[in-house]
Amino acid sequence: MRDFANSSYKRGKVAQNKIKIQRVPRDYKKILRPLKTIATGVVALSLVAGLFYGGYRALSSVTVFSLKNITVSSAKHLTREEILGLASVEPGKDLFRMNLKRMGEHILMNPWVETVKINRYLPDAIAITVTEREPVAIVNMGFIYYLDSKGKVFKVLNQGDKLDFPVVTGFSEETLGSDPKGTKEALETTCLLLKTLREKGAFILADVSEIHYDKGYGFTLFTSNGALPVKIGSGDFPAKIERFARIYRDLMAQSTTIHYIDLDYIDKIIVKKT
């Protein structure tokens, strides 16, 4: 065996392999050129948007169609000034900026108003047309309300309101809340009875001081002369009133001896003596 420990051979060093890599310098101008283009576009777009916004602000500050003429339909219960106050409208406002729907909603908040219509007329005018409710009776429901011809309880009476209407009793705010449909139908029937009394001959609305409603029975009229009860039920009012009108004056001559009169029959009248 060869003894390498005592050998005079010296191992030479082997040079490492070296590969020279040539680095190419980066062209940052080429990299940044698209970003510069984008930035320039953003700046330009911002300038254009600013110009448009400035133009819009300038145009919006100019009132091209200024309100000059306001027409308001004649009303019985509301004055022109009250209607304009509800609508918050006055000359000088921009006609295009006026929200007609909102104006109408504000006018409808007044209980006298049933319908409202607002039209815009260029270059400088609007027209407000108001339809008011007309009371046909007073309903005592704890508070006293007006009743219109469609059976709508629409306004609490205040000091100065007219009282020369027939009084309707038997309704309450509780039933109006718990049974709105049934109460509405009964109030509409009340209006039919009132209409019949206005149109018929010898026995008319002026002869009635009170109309009382009972859910189970129907209506009872109380005469202006002596508060005599006249039961009329819930339907066929024209025929019943016509029959009663024929003998009304004769019965009133002896009213002190009559307890009540019942008209709620097809072909007869019941007179209950005291």
Tokens of 95: 């006609």
Res 229: pLDDT:
94
pLDDT, tens only, 118-163: 999 989 999 999 999 999 999 999 899 999 999 999 999 999 899 9
Q: Is residue 7 part of a domain?
A: no
For the record, the structure tokens of 65 come out as 């169609």
Is the distance from CB of 67 to CB of 93 less than 8 angstroms?
A: yes
Number of domains in the chain: 2
- Are 245 and 202 in contact by the 8 Å Cβ rule? The answer is yes
Domain around 162: 135-273
Residue with tokens 């309707």: 168
Q: Phi, psi (5° rounding) for residue 233?
A: 75, -145
Quote the pLDDT of residue 58.
Answer: 47
Are residues 258 and 152 located together in one domain of the fold? Answer: yes
Strand partners, 156: 145
Q: DSSP characters for 131-164?
A: EE--EEEEEEESEEEEEETTS-EEEE--TT----
When the pLDDT of each residue in the chain is averaged and rounded to a whole number, the result is 84
Is residue 147 domain-resident?
yes
Which CATH number do you get for residue 180?
3.40.50.11690
The confidence score (pLDDT) of residue 267 equals 85
Same domain, residue pair 190 and 116: no
Is residue 258 in a domain?
A: yes
- pLDDT tens-digit readout, 201-241: 677 788 889 999 999 899 999 998 889 999 999 989 999 99
Task: Answer whether residue 57 is part of any domain.
Answer: no
Residues 144 and 103 in one domain: no
Cα–Cα dist 132/110, whole Å: 10
Rg (CA), the chain: 45
- Residue 173 CA to residue 41 CA, distance in Å, equals 69
pTM of the model: 0.71
Answer yes or no: is pLDDT of 200 > 80: no
Q: What is the pLDDT of residues 40-87, one digit of tens each?
A: 666 666 666 666 555 545 444 555 789 999 999 999 999 999 999 999
88 and 148 in a single domain? The answer is: no
CATH number of the domain that residue 96 is part of = 3.10.20.310
- Burial of residue 231 (number of CB atoms within 10 Å: 0-12, 13-18, 19+): buried
Residue 201 belongs to some domain of the structure: yes
pLDDT tens digits, 248-258: 888 888 888 99
- At residue 225, the pLDDT reads 82
